[in-house]
Amino acid sequence: MKILHCKEYGPVDNLVWEEIDIQEPQDNEVQIEIKAAALNFPDFLIVQGLYQFKPELPFAPGNEGAGTVTKIGKNVTKFKEGDRVYFMAPYGAFAEKINISEFSVFPIPEDITFQLAASYQMAYGTSYHALVQRGALSVDDEVLILGASGGVGLAALDIAKAKGARVVVGVSTEEKAQICRDYGADDVVIYGSGPKDKEEAKAFSAELKAKSAKGGYDIIYDPIGDCYAEPAFRAIGWKGKYLVVGFAAGQIPKLPINLTLLKGASVVGVFWGAFTGREFEENQKNISDINEMLGKGQIKPLISKEIPMENAVEAIKLIGSRGVVGKVVLVN
């Protein structure tokens, strides 16, 4: 089989699409012929050694995918050969096949394509956990979402609107703003790109406050960090929750801690990967609710591009440039 091999941490261009042998699945594993796998921003970080953890080299990036079961280990009871499934993995999805525990694999409903099944679990799982468990989202809340046109940002917008909240989004361009409007955003702030000086940051914060119907947000969902974090935090409402989801804009921000005191506000970390392992049953409930919303048409994951798996290097560079709207899916 072929795999996108990361043999050393470094530039994305060092990755190699090459042939390797695959072992037989272990007793509790299934072997899946991968039809589709979704890109996420951590894929860009992990191959450079910049993510929260570093897999043992060599490895293939990719957290989520979908395909057909081709072999099963002797103790597997949940699946059989030929089943259509999607899976979540720490890495390894950017390949033609994968061996993975049956407990990380889930059946695909008949009306869901491989591409769709591969595309939404991580983004919607992260955003659902962030808003529902960490943010305690209610129908009366007003939510600000930064980086709202990306994978997790658009998922957060989709979920928040499905749950009845008012949502203001921040994006870098008018094109991205229109996509968010199409997804139900109640208002939009276009913040451009690049560093902000003191006056620009102050103006950005003032614009965010002006867009709030309450004069401050109940929940701020931030997957980008960098120079956008502090101006956004200054627009938080009384007892608001600032959800730290990621740092896609580059730098990890430093917040003046006195702002939490002045607003009675909370800074809340969101680490969905750890949540799925530590609170397995709660995560299963989340998955069920997300799939139910999808089945009812209450959420609508956006796949903006489908790219051949063999061209994964260019796809990873694209997501690293933050030029992606919604999700990019690699296909075999």
Q: How confident is the model at residue 251 (pLDDT cuts 50, 70, 90)?
A: confident
The reported pLDDT for the residue numbered 242 is: 98
The reported pLDDT for the residue numbered 196 is: 84
The reported pLDDT for the residue numbered 250 is: 81
- Which range marks the domain in which residue 243 is found? 124-273
Compute the average pLDDT of residues 7-21: 95
Structural domain count, the chain: 2
The reported pLDDT for the residue numbered 172 is: 93
Q: How confident is the model at residue 193 (pLDDT cuts 50, 70, 90)?
A: confident
Residues 148 and 108 in one domain: no
SS3 35: strand
Q: Is the pLDDT of residue 61 over 80?
A: yes
Residues 129 and 268 in one domain: yes
Residues 190 and 142 in one domain: yes
* 174 in a structural domain: yes
Compute the average pLDDT of residues 108-132: 94
At residue 320's C-alpha, the angle toward residues 211 and 137, to 5°, is 40
User: What percent of the chain clears pLDDT 90, i.e. is strictly above it?
Assistant: 88
- Identify each DSSP E strand in the chain by its residue range: 2-5, 16-19, 29-38, 64-72, 84-88, 97-101, 105-107, 142-146, 166-171, 187-190, 217-222, 236-244, 266-269, 303-308, 327-331
Compute the average pLDDT of residues 94-105: 96
The reported pLDDT for the residue numbered 273 is: 87
Q: How confident is the model at residue 114 (pLDDT cuts 50, 70, 90)?
A: very high
